[in-house]
Amino acid sequence: MACRITELVLDCVDPEGLARFWSEVLGYVEIEREDDGSIAIGPPGTGFGGPLPALVLSPTSDPRPVKLRLHLDVSATDRDQDAELERLLALGAKPADVGQTGDESWHVLADPEGNEFCLLHTRVEPV
């Protein structure tokens, strides 16, 4: 038997704002709210344990002290990379510099709280 990733938890100052941002980026919907202010988002119609992991935005008042050791990579499902980059920037993503050379096939971005993620070049089929 093996394990499967069911949730990715991201500590954040504004769970509402990041839930909106990542829901738009990933096409996710809100699937749960906890008493502590955490908001779980995931693919529509699946909920916890679906084929893709949920993203849990967990409130914290601590500022992010250093670069995250884990980041998300996203790939467009219905458009090319340039069009998806425009969409992500319009949603509030910002270009991020983590030492890339400029020759990479991906774009490094940051969400509205500065968490880095990469937009990969390869288009994938939706799940």
Q: Which architecture characterizes domain 70-127 according to CATH?
A: Roll (3.10)
> According to CATH, what is the number of the domain 1-61?
3.10.180.10
Strands (E), 34-95: 39-42, 54-59, 72-74, 94-95
Q: What is the pTM of this model?
A: 0.90
Q: What is the pLDDT of residues 9-43, one digit of tens each?
A: 999 999 999 999 999 999 999 999 999 999 999 99
Domains 1-61 and 70-127 share a fold: yes
Q: Is 6 helix (H, G, I), strand (E, B) or coil?
A: coil
Give the model's pLDDT for residue 53.
93
